[in-house]
Structure 1
Amino acid sequence: MTRRAFRLPVVLLPIALAACATQATPPSENPAPVPATPAAPAPQADAGALLPTVPQPPERPVAPASVTDPAIPREQRIAAFVDYTAQTYGVDPQRIRDTLAKAEYKQSIIDAISRPAEKVRPWRDYRPIFMNDARIKGGKAFYAANRAALDRVSAETGVPAQYIVAIIGVETSYGKITGNYRVLDALYTLAFWHPKRAPFFAGELAQLFALTKEEPQLDLFALKGSYAGAMGMGQFMPSSYRNWAKDGDGDGRRDLLDHKPDVFASIANYFVVHGWQRGGPVVARATRDADAADFAPDGLDPVYPLPVLAAKGYHPQDGQPTAEGATLLTLDGDAGKEYWLGYRNFYVISRYNHSPMYSLAVHQLAQAIGDSGAP
C-alpha cells in the first residue's frame, strides 16, 4: 500500500499503508491502506536516461459507484453492495445481508481516520521509534525463538529472515499489538460513512466476505484488527490476505492472525510478489557534491542509473553497495542532512508502507537484528 501521511506503530501518527493496515499503534493500521501502485514516472526531462519501473501486481479492485456514491441513500448503497459482492465473489447474498445486519457503526473509527494529520516527524525523530534497545532486543529474541521456520522461508524465497522479523516488529511489536476493532465493523464503517475512501474500503469489505468463504476457519464476527481493517501479526488487509497469504506448513489453511509459519511465508511472499531481488542491496549511504543542486525524485521507484545520479552530484559512499538503478532520499538526521540511495529492494519494502522513512527504519532494524553491520 502514491504518497500520503506516514503511519507509525505504537505512536499515534496518521500513516499510510499499501499492503496492510493496522490501528493507531502499528504503522500499517493507521490511516488507511491503499492498493499497491507503481510509482509515478520520474521527471520527463530525464526520461531518456531512466530505467524501467519495478513490475507490480495488478491493482486490487475497488467497489463501484453504485456502492460508494454519497449522493445515493445509504440503504440503497448497502443493497448495491450485497449485489456487487454476491456477483463478484460468489457469496450467498442472504449471508451478506445477515452479516451486515450485525455490523456496527463506530464513530471512533471515523474520528481516527479523519484526525488531521500531525506534523510529519523528521527522520531524526522517526528513527528512534523503531531503532531502540527494546525493539532490537525483541527482534533478536523473536528471531532466536523462530529461527528454523524463518530461515526455511528465507532460503525458499530469498527474503532475509531479519526483514520478515523487522516487518512484524514495526507493524505489531512482534505480535503484541494487532488491533482491537472488529474487522467487520471497521470496514463497514469506512465503506458507508467515509466517502473519501469508500471505493477502497467497500472493496475490502467485499474481499472480507470472499476471504472468510475461502478460509472457513476464520470467524468473520471475531476477527480483530486495526481501525482500517488490517489483521494479524503482519497487518494484512483482506485483499492482501486473499492474494498473497501463503500456507506455510501445508495444513491446508492460511492463518495470518498468529500462526507463525503462515505469517512468515506470507510476508516473504508479499515481498517476492512486489519484486524482491534475492541477494540484492537495499540502500546505500550517499555523499553530495558541494555544488550539487537539490534533487527530489517524484517516487521511490529505482529508475535512476547511478551515473545519472552521479552527474547530479550524488554518489554511494566508499564501501557501500551499488546497483544498476536507485532513487535518492534526503532526510533530516541527527547531524544534519542525510543522503541515501534506495535500490530495488528498498522500493519493495515501501510497497508495505509508502513512507521512505518506514522503509529505512525496517531496513535498519533488520540489520540490527541480523548484526550485519550494514548501513
Structure 2
Amino acid sequence: MKIKKSLSLLTLIAAGLLRFEPVQAEVAETDSFKQFIGNMVKQQHFNEVELRKLFKVVQIQQPILDAMSKPAEGKPWFQYREIFMTEARIAGGVQFWKDNEAALKAVESQYGVPAEIIIAIIGVETKYGAFTGKYRVIDALATLAFAYPPRSEFFLKELEQFLLLAREERIDPLQPMGSYAGAMGLPQFMPSSFRGYAKDLDMDGKRNIWTNSADAIASVANYFVRNQWRAGAPIAYPVSARGEAYRQALGKGVKPDVSVGELRRMAVDIPAQLAASEMVKLLAYQQQEGEDLWLGLHNFYVITRYNHSPLYAMAVYQLSQAIAARKG
C-alpha cells in the first residue's frame, strides 16, 4: 500500500499536477540583479567581485513571500486591536519604562516626544525587543527586491541602503537579523530610516538599535521629530456623530483633510477646545457591532509616518495611554 502511494505521488509530480516550491533558493542572475550590481559598483563604489561573492550566500526565501501576502493590517480593527492591547504588552511597557527611565526622561526632554509613545512604538513593533525578527535582513530585502515584483522598486532601494549602512557602520551584512520585510532592531527601522534617523544616545560610537535600548529610544524620538512632531500637542480624540452626514468626511488616507468646523456642521460632536479651523482626519474603526469614530490630529498623522496604517497608529496611541495609566 505504501509503495503504491509513493508511486502515485511520483506520477503526479512527473505529470506536473503537484508542484513543490523550494523554501529557499540562490539569487538568480536576472537583468534586475545585474543592473543592481552594476549600479552599486558604478554609483556607490562597491567591489563587484566582493559583492557577487556576498550574494552567492544570500537566499531567496519563500516564507518571506508568503508573509508579505497576509499582513496584520488586513484584519478589522477589533481583531487587530487584540494583538497589541494585551496585559502582557501593557505590563511589559511599564517594565520597559522602569528599566530605561533615565534614557526616556532625557530623550523626552530633548525631543519633546512623550515616553509612552516611544515605548508603545517599541512595544507594538517588537514587544520591547522580544521579537526583532528571525530572517537575515539581506535575505529579506533580496527576496522582496528580486522575487516580489509588486514592491521590487522599494526593496531594491532598501537593499542598497542596507549595504551602505553595513559599510558605514562596519557591520557584516550577513549578520543583522530582522523581520520578513527587512525591518531591524527594537524599533524595526528599515535601512533608509536607520541611515536617516538612528541615533547614538550613549555616545559609544555605534548606532545600535538591536541591543541598546537608549539608542533605540532616541532613534524613535528623532524619527518623529524629523517628521514634524509637535511637542505637547494632542494626538487623537474619540468622537460621536448624530445622523449619517459625517460619512461624507470618511475617506482614504490618514492626512488631516477636513476642518473641525466642517465636521461640527455634519453633526459630529467634537471637544470644545478644538478650534473650528483646525484640520483633522475623521476615522472609523470597525467593531464586531458598529464602529468607533476618532479624530486624528497632526501628531496622529506623524505616527502614521512610521507605518501608514491607521490601525497601527491607533494601536500605538491606545497602548501608550494604557501604559501611562498603569504607570500612574
The answer to whether residue 104 in structure 2 is matched with residue 164 in structure 1 is: no
How many residues align structurally? 300
One of 258, 265, 271 as aligned partner of 2:218: 265
Give the structure with the higher percent helix: 2
Distance between the aligned counterparts of 1:235 and 1:127, measured in 2?
19
Give 1:273's aligned amino acid.
Answer: R
* Contact 1:82/1:93 (8 A) holds in 2: yes
- Structure 2 partner of 1:250: 203
Q: What is the SS of the residue equivalent to 1:362? A: helix
In the TM superposition, 1:274-285 aligns within 5 A as: 274-285=227-238
- Structure 2 partner of 1:97: 52
In the TM superposition, 1:141-156 aligns within 5 A as: 141-156=95-110
TM-score (norm 1): 0.74
| Change beyond 3 A, Cα 1:197–1:119 | closer
In the TM superposition, 1:6-85 aligns within 5 A as: 74-85=29-40
Residue 322 of structure 1 deviates from its aligned partner by 9.1
Residue 151 of structure 1 deviates from its aligned partner by 1.1
Q: What is the SS of the residue equivalent to 1:284? A: strand
The answer to whether residue 230 in structure 2 is matched with residue 230 in structure 1 is: no
| Change beyond 3 A, Cα 1:75–1:357 | closer
Distance between the aligned counterparts of 2:178 and 2:275, measured in 1?
38
- Structure 2 partner of 1:59: none
Distance between the aligned counterparts of 1:128 and 1:229, measured in 2?
25
Structure 2 gap ranges (5+): 1-27
Distance between the aligned counterparts of 1:149 and 1:367, measured in 2?
20
Q: What is the SS of the residue equivalent to 1:330? A: strand
Give 2:34's aligned amino acid.
Answer: A
Residue 320 of structure 1 deviates from its aligned partner by 8.2
- Structure 2 partner of 1:363: 317
Q: What is the SS of the residue equivalent to 1:166? A: helix
* Contact 1:332/1:338 (8 A) holds in 2: yes
Distance between the aligned counterparts of 1:239 and 1:342, measured in 2?
27
Q: What is the SS of the residue equivalent to 1:294? A: helix
- Structure 1 partner of 2:21: none
| Change beyond 3 A, Cα 1:202–1:265 | same
| Change beyond 3 A, Cα 1:346–1:321 | farther
In the TM superposition, 1:64-213 aligns within 5 A as: 74-113=29-68, 115=69, 120-213=74-167
Residue 152 of structure 1 deviates from its aligned partner by 0.6
- CA RMSD in angstroms comes to 2.4
* Contact 1:281/1:321 (8 A) holds in 2: no
Residue 335 of structure 1 deviates from its aligned partner by 6.2
Residue 256 of structure 1 deviates from its aligned partner by 1.1
* Contact 2:259/2:276 (8 A) holds in 1: no
Give 2:325's aligned amino acid.
Answer: D
| Change beyond 3 A, Cα 1:162–1:333 | same
Residue 249 of structure 1 deviates from its aligned partner by 1.5
| Change beyond 3 A, Cα 1:351–1:109 | same
Identity of paired residues, percent? 41
Residue 340 of structure 1 deviates from its aligned partner by 0.6
- Structure 2 partner of 1:329: 283
Q: What is the SS of the residue equivalent to 1:326? A: strand
TM-score (norm 2): 0.84
Residue 80 of structure 1 deviates from its aligned partner by 1.5
| Change beyond 3 A, Cα 1:284–1:321 | farther
Q: What is the SS of the residue equivalent to 1:105? A: strand
Residue 372 of structure 1 deviates from its aligned partner by 8.4
Distance between the aligned counterparts of 2:277 and 2:315, measured in 1?
20
Residue 126 of structure 1 deviates from its aligned partner by 2.1
| Change beyond 3 A, Cα 1:322–1:99 | farther
Residue 76 of structure 1 deviates from its aligned partner by 3.4
Larger RCO: 1 or 2 (CA < 8 Å, sep 6+)? 1
- Structure 2 partner of 1:20: none
| Change beyond 3 A, Cα 1:83–1:219 | same
* Contact 2:73/2:312 (8 A) holds in 1: no
| Change beyond 3 A, Cα 1:119–1:142 | closer
Give 2:241's aligned amino acid.
Answer: R
| Larger-Rg structure | 2
* Contact 1:281/1:322 (8 A) holds in 2: no
* Contact 2:185/2:211 (8 A) holds in 1: yes
Distance between the aligned counterparts of 1:119 and 1:215, measured in 2?
32
Distance between the aligned counterparts of 1:268 and 1:116, measured in 2?
29
Distance between the aligned counterparts of 1:93 and 1:225, measured in 2?
26
- Structure 2 partner of 1:35: none
1:287-307: per-residue Cα shift (whole Å, max 9, x none)?
Answer: 212352413133211132211
* Contact 1:285/1:320 (8 A) holds in 2: no
Distance between the aligned counterparts of 1:189 and 1:256, measured in 2?
23
Distance between the aligned counterparts of 1:119 and 1:163, measured in 2?
20
